[in-house]
């Protein structure tokens, strides 16, 4: 087993747990649908984070030929996947056997934690390139990171529902564009 195959096991488990968080939340919502007060930005964030989780896993394939691993490089990848897991865990509440579940109330109760982690995520991603490649990401990639950071800071600064609906829609569109323009093909 090569170095990255060994290291990627833990990273893949954490990414898998992130996907599990989202799918468990979606399932919980389906099962409790009669007791759920919906909030479509939560659904959009859930879908967006399914795409992000897949993209993070997909992009890690480019590290398969790397053999000069140091703990700092692995630690930054670990921090990135942990932040992703924590973010996905905030999208949906736990769905109890009884009682109403208000997705809007949950969203705004978790807003500060969610958008703080969302702001940390692009910083960790840029740090990953700095630690692993000793360089910033490419111009387009860095621009998307700046866009995601601005979106997260906006979500932290403003609590209005209309703004958060716009942020969810804009974030979903930006994530789709990011994946399509920068990660449509596995590295060669």
CA distance 142 to 15: 23
| pLDDT reading at 187 higher than 90 | no
Q: How confident is the model at residue 188, as a pLDDT?
A: 46
**pLDDT mean over 125-141:** 95
Question: Above pLDDT 70, what percent of the chain?
Answer: 98
Q: Considering only 32-36, 57-61, 85-89, 116-120, which range has the smallest mean pLDDT?
A: 57-61
| pLDDT reading at 186 higher than 70 | no
- pTM beyond 0.75: the answer is yes
Residue 168 vs residue 185, higher pLDDT: 168
DSSP state, residue 34: G
Q: How confident is the model at residue 4, as a pLDDT?
A: 87
**pLDDT mean over 40-65:** 94
- Asked if 177 and 151 touch (Cβ cutoff 8 Å), the reply is no
Residue 180 CA: distances (Å) to CA of 14, 22, 55, 132: 24, 22, 10, 24
| pLDDT reading at 69 higher than 80 | yes
- Asked if 83 and 117 touch (Cβ cutoff 8 Å), the reply is yes
Mean pLDDT of the chain: 95
């Amino acid at each position: 087993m090569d170095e990255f195959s060994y290291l990627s096991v833990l990273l893949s488990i954490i990414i898998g747990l992130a996907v599990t968080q989202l799918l468990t939340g979606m399932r919980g919502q389906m099962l409790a649908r009669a007791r759920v007060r919906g909030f479509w930005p939560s659904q959009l964030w859930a879908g967006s984070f399914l795409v992000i989780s897949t993209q993070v896993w997909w992009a890690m394939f480019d590290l398969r030929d790397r053999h000069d691993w140091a703990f700092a490089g692995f630690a930054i990848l670990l921090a990135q996947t942990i932040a992703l897991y924590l973010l996905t865990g905030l999208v949906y509440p736990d769905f109890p056997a009884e009682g109403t579940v208000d997705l809007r109330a949950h969203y705004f109760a978790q807003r500060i934690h969610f958008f703080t982690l969302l702001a940390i995520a692009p910083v960790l991603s840029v740090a990953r390139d700095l630690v692993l490649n000793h360089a910033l990401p490419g111009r387009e990639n860095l621009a998307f990171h700046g866009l995601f950071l601005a979106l997260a800071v906006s979500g932290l600064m403003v609590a209005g529902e209309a703004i958060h609906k716009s942020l969810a829609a804009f974030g979903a569109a930006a994530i789709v564009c990011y994946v399509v323009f920068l990660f449509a093909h596995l590295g060669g």
